[in-house]
Chain A
Amino acid sequence: AQKITQTQPGMFVQEKEAVTLDCTYDTSDPSYGLFWYKQPSSGEMIFLIYQGSYDQQNATEGRYSLNFQKARKSANLVISASQLGDSAMYFCAMREGNAGGTSYGKLTFGQGTILTVHP
């Protein structure tokens, strides 16, 4: 089974509007972290935001917020007031506390969502 599922291959949003990128995850580990990364066309991977499984409040970082619904196992990224520079690929990733059965805390990525911001 997929550990991280991003069901939206592509999303479009108008500049200055808000957009939600979906991410669902699958784990039986009570301790885990959820991460969002941005990959612009230049190729680098930029860390955006983190949410821990024990965090009571949704994480926020500037225009980025993470809508964490633990019971539904979803960790959607919300970008408010979209800008043209937000056009990029966005990856959701998870790191499990029981090290995912490994000694290094495997980081598992979804397949990504391409976001296009229209002027």
Chain B
Amino acid sequence: NAGVTQTPKFRVLKTGQSMTLLCAQDMNHEYMYWYRQDPGMGLRLIHYSVGEGTTAKGEVPDGYNVSRLKKQNFLLGLESAAPSQTSVYFCASSYSLVEIYTDTQYFGPGTRLTVL
């Protein structure tokens, strides 16, 4: 049981390049999330998914796209990277409990992305 895994762990891009971050979970969770963590700003939600085939925007979605073709995988894409997207990216997953406020999110190890 690996929990939530992310690939790659580190990446350096040049401005304008594209890349995809992969998140995988083996806990049969319905909900999956992508966050970014910037110094002094805590975590902010980029996009999320409440089930296979569905995605929606979070707080800071601009410049990112996502896809959830399989329940266990959630992909985050950067089509044209910008230096402002230099950050640490975390994926998380959780069950879809009726009382959602009791639902714990479990995080992957993070991807450190630098855009030059």
Contacts and interface: CB of A to CB of B under 8 A. Distances in A.
Contact of B100 (A35, A99, A109): A99
A46 B102 CA distance: 17
Given A43-B88, A44-B109, A45-B107, A105 B101 contact: yes
Contacts of A50: 102, 104
Contact of A111 (B40, B50, B102): B40
A110 B42 contact: yes
Given A33-B101, A50-B102, A111-B42, A43 B50 contact: no
Interface string B97-114: 001111111111110100
Interface in A52-95: 52-53, 91, 95
Contacts of A47: 104-107
A55 B3 CA distance: 28
Contacts of B58: 106
A31 interface: yes
Contacts of B43: 45, 91, 109
B24 to A, nearest CB: 15
Nearest to A110: B42
Given A43-B88, A97-B100, A99-B100, A111 B56 contact: no
Nearest to B59: A106
Nearest to A103: B50
Contacts of B44: 109
Contact of A33 (B48, B56, B103, B110): B103
Contacts of A45: 43, 90, 92, 107, 110
Given A31-B99, A111-B40, A106 B45 contact: yes
B31 interface: yes
Interface in B1-60: 31, 33, 40-45, 48, 50, 56, 58
B40, B44, B104: most-surrounded residue (chain A CB, <10 A): B104
Given A103-B56, A104-B31, A91 B107 contact: no
5 contacts: A43-B88, A43-B109, A95-B100, A105-B103, A109-B44
Closest 8 A/B residue pairs (Cβ): A105-B100, A45-B107, A109-B42, A97-B101, A33-B101, A109-B43, A44-B109, A95-B101
